[in-house]
Amino acid sequence: DVKVTQSSRYLVKRTGEKVFLECVQDMDHENMFWYRQDPGLGLRLIYFSYDVKMKEKGDIPEGYSVSREKKERFSLILESASTNQTSMYLCASSYQTLRVDTEAFFGQGTRLTVV
């Protein structure tokens, strides 16, 4: 059974803290993605990666960084958390080429609240 696992379901952090969100997949997928979901804005892509140590900026990378030291693990880092980063964070993984009968698999999400 396919699995993308995010380390926490719920997190509460203080403004200015450095925050790490971890994601692990067991499908040997090349691609991994971080999104955030906000009401009315849908899923917005923060960063993505197609290989170890490779990363690309998504549509809203400001205030975030990522790390991919191993193929199965993709970490999202909030360098200095701010209240406007309160959101649902979703990790996904896929094969490098999305084609017929393939899709991206999502983790269960991390609800982050910054106070």
Partner 1 sequence: DQQVKQNSPSLSVQEGRISILNCDYTNSMFDYFLWYKKYPAEGPTFLISISSIKDKNEDGRFTVFLNKSAKHLSLHIVPSQPGDSAVYFCAASARRIQGAQKLVFGQGTRLTINP
Residues that bind partner 1 (CB under 8 A): 4, 9, 30-31, 33, 35, 40-45, 48-50, 54, 56, 58-59, 90, 92, 94, 96-101, 103-109, 111
Q: How far is the CB of 11 from partner 1 (least distance, A)?
A: 14
Pick 74 or 85: Cβ nearer partner 1: 74
Report how far residue 44's alpha carbon sits from residue 30's, in angstroms, rounded to the nearest whole number. 20
Residue 5 or 80: the one with the smaller Cβ distance to partner 1 is 5
Q: Tell me how far, at minimum, the Cβ of 80 lies from partner 1, in Å.
A: 27
Q: Which is nearer to partner 1, 15 or 113 (CB)?
A: 113
Selection from 24, 44, 47 nearest residue 36 by Cα: 44
Would you say how long the chain is, in residues?
115
DSSP letter (8 states) at residue 19: E
- CB 62 to partner 1: min, Å: 16
**Strand extents, DSSP E, the chain:** 4-6, 10-13, 19-25, 31-38, 42-51, 54-57, 64-70, 73-78, 87-94, 105-106, 110-114
